[in-house]
Amino acid sequence: MIKPIYLFGSGVLREPAAEIDINDREAVAALITDLKDTLAKADGCGLAAPQIGVPLRVLIVTGDGLEDAYPYLKGFKRTMINPEIVDESHEKSTFSEGCLSVPGVYADVTRPSAITVRYYDEDLKQVEERLDKFACRMVQHEMDHLDGIIFVDKVAPIRKKMIAKKLQNISRGKVSTSYKTK
């Protein structure tokens, strides 16, 4: 079911998410369906459960629509249940990020260039994989949501001052999107 996406300023985006009980297969499947339906409607590349008002550690990322810029993302789709980063590279990279919860705002964020992440997939099998490039960035961005962190928290102070008015407007609901928001 398509859910509204919570915007910057919503309390649920600042709460650390709890692990979901993977033994409750029905609840896990329902949440994944809601995330996929909502992300497809919003036309983004990733979505975490807190962004639809559910403070649980589940996220999805997809390379759909990004293959022209990043050919290696062709077919890249991950559902991550209770993910955790178990290793990260010392090498960093900086890239402009945006977010469905912070529409119209883009800013450079520096993150590790590669990570190893452990999670349960949709079949509830434990997976550990190494990610790099844009796939790594998408996962880190969504995992931040699980910890109550929004990408604008990681931007340079001068940039944060420059976007302060936009953030204030978003938190007041003064924003236009092509998807439902809350």
Residue 6, both tokens: 């919570």
Catalytic (active site) residue 128: no
Coil, strand or helix at 140: helix
Rounded to whole angstroms, how far apart are CA atoms 141 and 29?
22
Rounded to whole angstroms, how far apart are CA atoms 179 and 171?
16
> Residue 114's beta-bridge partner residues?
132
User: Which regions of 89-150 does DSSP assign to beta strands (E)?
Assistant: 92-99, 102-112, 114-120, 126-132
Residue 114, both tokens: 């590669």
Q: Which one from 19, 88, 128, 142 is the annotated catalytic residue?
A: 142
Rounded to whole angstroms, how far apart are CA atoms 42 and 46?
10
Indicate which residues carry an active-site annotation. 142
